[in-house]
Structure 1
Amino acid sequence: MKLLIAQPRLEKELRQLELEMMNHPEADVIIFPEGYINHNIDCACELARKYSKIIISGYKNPKDRAVVIDRDGKLLLDRAKYEDTKLVEVEGNVIGIMLCDELVLQGMSNLQPTNILFIVHPIGVGMFSEEQFAEWVEEARKYAIQYKTVIIGTSHADGSFGDSEVSIPIAYCMDEEGTDIFISKNDTKTRIVTLETRPGRSVINLA
């Protein structure tokens, strides 16, 4: 399974989402930040169907929601931020999703470790300090180890939180032992990782 991890700019439409799908036909899963889809949920479902991609991201209706869309354009998960975390099954694989500061506020809502293939962490804007960047990376590492699964996070390439003048774009991927596959700071290029499952272990490689 190939997972595309994007750090787009905030936009009113979904041009960057479609462009990534067009440019990377090999990708199975498209991971975009919290809030990127915005009010365009119907369009996102249509793009998932058109390009036969699984989309994991977030949108606003009117508050932030976690969303997983399958290749047929069907909403498999549509959960309001800060509601209890739910696992979702996609093509026979179990996936977890935490939105932005759920990582530090509630985590996976005390879900028991199970056979989770990977956890996705869509983040809104970039980190507002080096300290926050380091804190969130280490919190993510704890979940990778606790749930014995791959964890992937990504933020927008632009924007800032509240009145902060700092916005550090972040993207990361760690394996089930908490080992870094990559940690991205102020480098907003798209990345693709390949996730393979073997008895008792997942193997993930950066393209």
Structure 2
Amino acid sequence: MGDAARDPSGRSLLATMVHDLRNPLSALAGNLALLKEELASVRLGETGSQCLEDSLVLCTRALLMVQSIADVDALEQGTISVRPRITPLAPEVEVAVTQGKADVEVRELDVVIDVPELSPVIDGRLVTRVIQNLFDNAVRYAPRRGRVEVKAGMVDRQLVISVGNSGPPLTAAEKLSIFERDYRAAERQAGARIGRDFGLYFCRLVVEAHKGTITI
């Protein structure tokens, strides 16, 4: 996702790739979830169960990555408009956390949700995606059998949402650049982790579109 994604031909190719990937990934994720439900009463054995869980986690993660790529391009081009409205926050958090349920179960994590009955003025669809990306990031960095927390509240009449885990803290350098567009490509050539960090850049764009800030 460099300069090629910002010129017209690059964006056209990007749109085609996203479209071609999103539909089969959505179908695959749905089929895996259905298969898991159908096999709930069948003894697959530890290896079979683990393979099914891992497949569902990876497919869901890939789908989130593809959607984030599409939305980042749209946000940068101004083709997605933020539509704030009074939105109950707790249901949005529940949707976001539920999307990561499979990964939580595989890693045996303790998830703590502390979200009071709030109805801020936000674009619920986009903010749900932000929470989903942050939660996914926290789950993947959490130690096995660790803890992940999602909290929300009002501070000085401003909505504050925090997502964290019991894993080791980031370095000072990472804190400064983790929400940048090319963070992973520039600092940690680790292909398996590019999608997650690109998702964090998406979070930054959405938060800034709401006139807010995002920090570690």
Q: TM-score, with normalisation over the residues of structure 2?
A: 0.27
The structure carrying a bigger strand percent of its residues is 1
Normalized against structure 1, the TM-score is what? 0.28
Which has the larger Rg?
2
Say which structure is richer in helix. Answer: 2
